[in-house]
Amino acid sequence: MHYLRQAACVTAATAMTLATTVIAAPAFAADAATNYVALGDSYSSGVGSREYFEDSGDCLRSPKSYAQLWADAHGVDSFTFNACSGATTDDVNSGQLDGLGADTTLVTISVGGNDVGFSSVVQDCLLGNDEGCDNAVSAAEEKGRSELPGKLDTTYANIKQAAPNAEVVVLGYPRLNQPTGGCGIPGFSEAKRQRINAGADVLAEVISERASAAGFTYADTRDAFEGHGVCSSSEWINGPSNPLQESFHPNTSGYAEGYLPVLNSVTG
């Protein structure tokens, strides 16, 4: 996802959560060809893992992303890795769908956080007071309810048209702050962290509803990350980091032990 290249930047995807439970989907037949395409933003590309393919440039695609891990573990016939840090729904529509086709059997995607501007929201929450954080989250929630549904509907329809035979899994974002309580990050009060979580749930509700309406599977990673958020004793999400792009994204454990098992629970 897009991150601010100034101090205290945070990515949109980070601030988001998912809301509902995984909707079971049929497992892939062991003897069938698996042609997998990974779409979406930084949570799909693997930002936070601190290891990236050289040729991925600013998209920051990682061999430690859940998408690459799934492809490696399942011995897929083909894998197209189009996810890109900073992607919005418009970016997916204009630059990521070229790898889809009638022979595509699996598509995964996480997208929507950048569309509602949660990178700036989390920055505001880190640097401002509790009231400013509440106002910033409220504004993002309103955008999520009013503008995002149509953007997701268009994106999902484009995916379905380009890959009519694929199983499409929409992966949600984990809460940043699980559990809340004591935290050593300056300015990141419990009130702010709870408010970010609440805003994330609103985003997740919108994404899960639109995924369901499209006939796609929504995979909720919230439970998988319970107890492993920022400031936990076993963090699967990076706190403020150097370089800043790593901040507030899953680390290698988050992708391997959080995201990957959730995806496996859907695909079998």
Write out the catalytic residue numbers: 42, 249
DSSP character string of 180-237: -S---STT--HHHHHHHHHHHHHHHHHHHHHHHHTTPEEE--TGGGTT-STTSSS-SB
Do residues 187 and 10 lie in contact, with contact meaning Cβ atoms separated by under 8 Å? no
- For residue 25, the Cα-to-chain-centroid distance in whole angstroms is 20
CA angle, 98 then 101 then 103, to 5°: 145
Q: Which segments of 96-146 does DSSP mark as H helices, in order?
A: 118-127, 130-146
What element of type H or E holds 78? strand 78-81
Distance in Å from the first CA to the final CA of the chain:
28
Do residues 176 and 231 lie in contact, with contact meaning Cβ atoms separated by under 8 Å? no
In sequence order, the β-bridge partners of residue 106 are 36, 167
Q: Running DSSP on this structure, what letter comes out for residue 258?
A: I
In sequence order, the β-bridge partners of residue 121 are none
- Tokens 């699980």, located at residue: 178
